[in-house]
């Protein structure tokens, strides 16, 4: 199965990028694709076998779901490997660059949406993360 890949260069050191990616008080501020959505509740147990749960919700309450997964591998400020709640694999790599940090996310596609739509949506969330970290 082909993995979908999204990437972003964040103009910030890897230590800050890692903190903003993994700390609950930051995740609620960036983990949504568009301004009409939000992430009102987050729990993140960042350890192997630990789970994260991100409440993803439309601000008008028309849709809400729990995006969650279980950590399989964690290398601090390097990579995270996850099994998502629906059994799909997700990997996140963090790489220091001359201008900051490169984040690469790879994940198995789900079957409800086209690959292009999934890639676009995940890229919008990653772009929102970049904006949040760099502000």
73 pairs with which residues across the strands?
Answer: 81
pTM over 0.85: yes
Work out the number of other CB atoms within 10 angstroms of the CB of residue 92.
19
Per-domain residue ranges for the chain?
4-134
1 — pLDDT class (breaks 50, 70, 90): low
Q: pLDDT by residue (tens digit) across 58-100?
A: 999 999 999 999 999 999 999 999 999 999 999 999 999 999 9
**How far out from the chain centre does Cα 51 lie?**
14
CB 4 within 8 A of CB 118: yes
**Burial class for 133, CB neighbours closer than 10 Å (0-12, 13-18, 19+):** buried
User: Which CATH number describes the domain made up of 4-134?
Assistant: 3.30.530.20
Q: pLDDT by residue (tens digit) across 5-60?
A: 999 999 999 999 999 999 999 999 999 999 999 999 999 999 999 999 999 999 99
pLDDT of res. 133: 98
């Amino acid at each position: 199965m082909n993995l979908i890949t999204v990437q972003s260069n964040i103009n910030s050191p890897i230590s800050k990028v890692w903190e903003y990616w993994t700390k609950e008080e930051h995740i609620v501020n960036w983990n949504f694709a568009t301004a009409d959505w939000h992430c009102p509740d987050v729990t993140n147990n960042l350890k192997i076998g630990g789970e994260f749960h991100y409440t993803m919700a439309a601000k008008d309450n028309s849709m809400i779901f729990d995006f969650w997964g279980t950590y399989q591998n964690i290398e601090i400020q390097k990579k995270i490997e996850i099994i998502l709640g629906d059994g799909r694999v997700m990997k996140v790599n963090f790489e220091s660059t001359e201008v900051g940090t490169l984040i690469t996310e790879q994940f198995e596609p789900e079957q409800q949406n086209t690959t292009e739509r999934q890639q676009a949506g995940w890229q919008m969330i990653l772009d929102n993360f970049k904006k949040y970290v760099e502000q």
